[in-house]
Each structure stands twice: as structure tokens, then as C-alpha cells.
Amino acid sequence: MVLLTGGAGYIGSHTCIELINSGYDVLIADDFSNSKPEAVRRLEEITGRKIPLVNIDVADKEAVEKLFNENEIDAVVHFAGYKAVGESVQFPLKYYRNNIDTALTILETMERHDVHNFIFSSSATVYGIPESVPLHEEMKTGCTNPYGFTKLMIEQILRDAAFANPKLSVVLLRYFNPIGAHESGRIGEDPNGIPNNLLPFITQVAVGKLPELGVFGNDYNTHDGTGVRDYIHVVDLAKGHVAAIGYAKENKGCEVFNLGTGTGYSVLDIVKAFEKVNNLKIPYTIKERRPGDIDECYADPKKAREKLHWTAEKTIEDMCRDSWNWQSHNQNGYE
């Protein structure tokens, strides 16, 4: 059975579907601090399967011990963690306590129960301000915010744990910018409050919840002056996790992979693609740069292609169409 910590969240729920489609049994553990139980109900609707769900804080040692006692876990995909960059700057101790404690509790419990396969939800944010693009896995890391530092610190904890325990197999997945939604439109990104990220902000403008998009700066060193990122469809990202579990079962040690498309799009490229594919107008105004943002960031996806035999397949049009399909059918997310 594969344990998905934070499995009711945006990436976790999409990964749950792809794991079930690939024949795995899954168990979701989630405290619903940044997700809703309704998402799991919809997963059961989409897959036609009952999905075991445990409502716990995965930093809670007793609760996690009980979970491992009662279930035959043979791999963990660890999504549980706070992920808002701006919030992490405001409340660093909350981020370090939660993100590090959840990871350590899971790893200590795995060790006691002789469970060896651990897939970690990391982020391209660990590269900090890149010296050059595209980014490959051997490039220097360095963070610009506490959220990024929690990811980098957990990567280090995992490297050291894998070095000390030869039975452990760890895969670090550095996500670029996940967007889009399952083709059913029944699950998708459902941020609390005003969205920090570009696509949910755009879809909330499109559905009339927000008046217009603020484009954070158009004086970056990019083709049109707006920030360039590597947007990847969340379903492609989910499939990358299935490939990572297969890799973990065949290998030992700790391996890191970028999960990106290798193509960068600017904010205005995304706005234009979204408008075109959905036949909508997205009003926007150019605003000041957002502190901490970088000019451009996109992946060299070669290592995942060669060693995970995984490549992102969906287009930017698919991502924009699926994002809108989710939002237009769920104006208030899972409410």
C-alpha cells in the first residue's frame, strides 16, 4: 500500500488517481489544513474505488505509529507541508516546525516498521536565483525564503538518512510550476483565500471572483519583460510520481529529479494562451515586482526522461483548458 501524506491536496489528489490507475492501493493521511474531505469523495467518484482516509496531523507520532501498525505500508509519498512562500516569510517558525516535524515523524516511523521507499515533494524553489537556465539537478541550490529552506533542509535530512540506512530508497522530486486539473473537472487547485499563484488567480478573474489580474512586473530580463516559468500539467506531474515509485523499488540511495517540461512561458504568454483556448478576456494591469521573484526558471528535463522514463506530454493549451474546466464548474472550489 502507498501512503500519501497530504494526499487530499492539489498534487496529492491527482497522484492518487494515477497510482490507482497503475494498480496501486493507496491510503490518504491528511489534516485538511489546506485541503477538503470533499476532494477525497470526488476521488472515489472518479476512480470508482473506496479510498482509505485517515484525518491526522502526520507530525503526531502516536497517530502515525497507529497508522503503520494498522496498514501494510510499502512506500510513502510525502506531500504534507505548508507551501505559501509569502506566509513562510511572515511565520517562519510555523513553517520550520510543521514541515520538518512531519518529515521526521514519517521517516522515524518508517524506520521502525522497516519501510524503505520514500518519495519527497520538493520544489524548484531550492535553486533560488539560478545562475543560468535551463536548470539541471547538479546546479547549486540556495533559497530565498523559509518555505524553500524547509524543502532544502528536508532534502539534506533525506540524503543523510539514505546514507546511514542502505535499505532506504529516496527520490526527491523538484516540481516546477504545477497547473491544470484532471480532465473530469471534478478535482483541481482550491487555494485558501486570495490565490498566491498565477493560474488560480487567473481562473478566479475569469469566473468573476476577482476583478483583474495584477502582473507583477514587466521589466524582467525576458522576451516580454514578465516572469518566465516552467508550467507543468498536474496530471503529468502525478505520473512522474508513479514513475518515481517504480524507480525507488528498483534502486537504493537518494536520487533527485526535476519534474518540468523544459519550456518556459511568461505571464503574458499564459494570459494569451488562457484567453485563446477558453475564448475569454482576462483584464490585467502591470504592477510592481513581487519581492523574491526571479526573472526566469525552467527545467532541463533530461535526467527524469532518461532515468525515470518519464516526460511531460500535455501542452500549455491543455493546462489552460483544464484549469478553466475545473474553476468554471466549481466556482467556490470544493465548498
Of residues 222, 173, 223, 231, the one with CA closest to residue 198: 231
- Residue with the closest Cβ to ligand WQD? 227
Minimum distance of ligand WQD from residue 250's CB (angstroms):
27
Residue located via cell numbers 498536474: 234
* Contact between residue 33 and residue 260 where contact means Cβ atoms under 8 Å apart: no
Q: Which of 10, 127, 147, 220 is catalytic?
A: 147
Angle at 244 between CA 242 and CA 247, to 5 degrees: 115
DSSP-derived secondary structure letter, 179: E
Task: Give contact residues for ligand WQD (rule: CB under 6 A).
Answer: 83, 85, 123, 125, 177, 196-198, 201, 214-216, 227, 229, 267, 290, 293
CB-nearer residue toward ligand WQD: 27 or 262? 262
* Contact between residue 21 and residue 94 where contact means Cβ atoms under 8 Å apart: no
Minimum distance of ligand WQD from residue 125's CB (angstroms):
4
Of residues 262, 265, 267, 281, the one with CA closest to residue 316: 265
CB-nearer residue toward ligand WQD: 227 or 262? 227
List, in sequence order, the alpha helices (H) in 214-266: 234-250
CB-nearer residue toward ligand WQD: 79 or 310? 79
**What are the φ/ψ torsions at residue 265 (nearest 5 degrees)?**
-125, 145
Is 175 part of the annotated catalytic residue set?
no
Minimum distance of ligand WQD from residue 97's CB (angstroms):
18
Minimum distance of ligand WQD from residue 199's CB (angstroms):
7
The x, y and z cell numbers of residue 35, run together, are 485541503
Of residues 149, 162, 150, 81, the one with CA closest to residue 118: 162
CB-nearer residue toward ligand WQD: 19 or 213? 213
CB-nearer residue toward ligand WQD: 197 or 251? 197
How distant is the alpha carbon of residue 302 from its chain centre?
20
| Residues with catalytic roles | 147
